[in-house]
Amino acid sequence: MDRFGTVAVVGVGLIGGSIGLALRSRGLASTVVGVGRDLQALEQARHRGVIDRATTDLAQGVAEADVVVVCTPVGRVALDVRRASESAPKTALITDAGSTKRRIVEEVEKTPSAAELFVGAHPLAGSERSGSAFSKADLFRDRVCVLTPTAKTPASRLRAARGFWSSLGCRILEMGPVEHDEVVAYTSHLPHALAASLAATVPVDWLPLAAGAFRDGSRVAGADTELWTAIFRENRGPLMTAVGALQDRLATLKYALMNDDEDAIRRWWDDARTRRALFEAQQPPES
């Protein structure tokens, strides 16, 4: 048991808190240290059993860590990884949970002593809710975690990162950071942009006639503004491409509607229905 020794979680929100809970409930760490800026919030997390110790001093928090997981907002991850690498043991694994990877990995690799400890990671888990109060020990169970090693990633750290994330319940996929960002622009950031577009487009007075399709289609628009502003900025190039592809799709529908072209509308819907069926066929039974 306690196979990971001391684990420092930097940023104890929904993701960091769920990592803490997962480690503690599975007995995978001897100590989970929570590092954050708000000591009161950290103490609340400690009371709820999310972490064992709390500190606002990053250097001190990671000083004895065998594993450091940086779960701060994407705009801060690279800086926190580099700072952690200055104080963590030289044997430590540093990984992160950022929703984007290209710029984070590029920034970290500008500091070779940080790159030697680091494996970029993105667990595809989350919620429209934020904060450690919503943490769940099983948030990562059966979820994909993408690791984004590069030529500079030591094989030993990659093995350690695979072991760490899979011990939380994740299924591991590996790809380059640039490819990762292109893919999640379509699979995650585009759905968020659409949910927000839908939520903002329906006039408020008409919401009493909104039912299941609106509810599900706009759900993630309830997510945190700062979090998503940062993610969109980090991945703005690939997201613009994905939005463009979706705009083309909408334009095709509008043209078919304009011409009342029954066959074109039918084909347009049927393409979508076929793709959705492929997605459903890939899901685990309970998802």
Q: Which residues contact 216 (CB under 8 A, 6 or more apart)?
A: none
Rounded least distance, CB 232 to a copy of itself, Å: 5
C-beta of 12 vs 230, nearer to a copy of itself: 230
C-beta of 2 vs 224, nearer to a copy of itself: 224
C-beta of 91 vs 187, nearer to a copy of itself: 187
Pairing of strands 121-123, 144-147: antiparallel
Rounded least distance, CB 177 to a copy of itself, Å: 14
Distance CA 231, CA 181 (A): 10
Rounded least distance, CB 195 to a copy of itself, Å: 6
C-beta of 133 vs 253, nearer to a copy of itself: 253
C-beta of 29 vs 230, nearer to a copy of itself: 230
Distance CA 4, CA 36 (A): 21
Rounded least distance, CB 8 to a copy of itself, Å: 26
C-beta of 14 vs 114, nearer to a copy of itself: 14
Distance CA 195, CA 120 (A): 27
Buried b (16+ CB within 10 A) or exposed e, 186-222: bebbbebbbbbebbeeeeeeeeeeeeeeeeebbebbe
Rounded least distance, CB 30 to a copy of itself, Å: 31
Task: Specify the DSSP element, H or E, that contains 238.
Answer: helix 236-258
Say whether 250 sits in a helix, a strand or coil: helix
What one-letter code names the amino acid at 152? K
Distance CA 29, CA 17 (A): 14
Rounded least distance, CB 34 to a copy of itself, Å: 25
CB 126 within 8 A of CB 18: no
Rounded least distance, CB 156 to a copy of itself, Å: 26
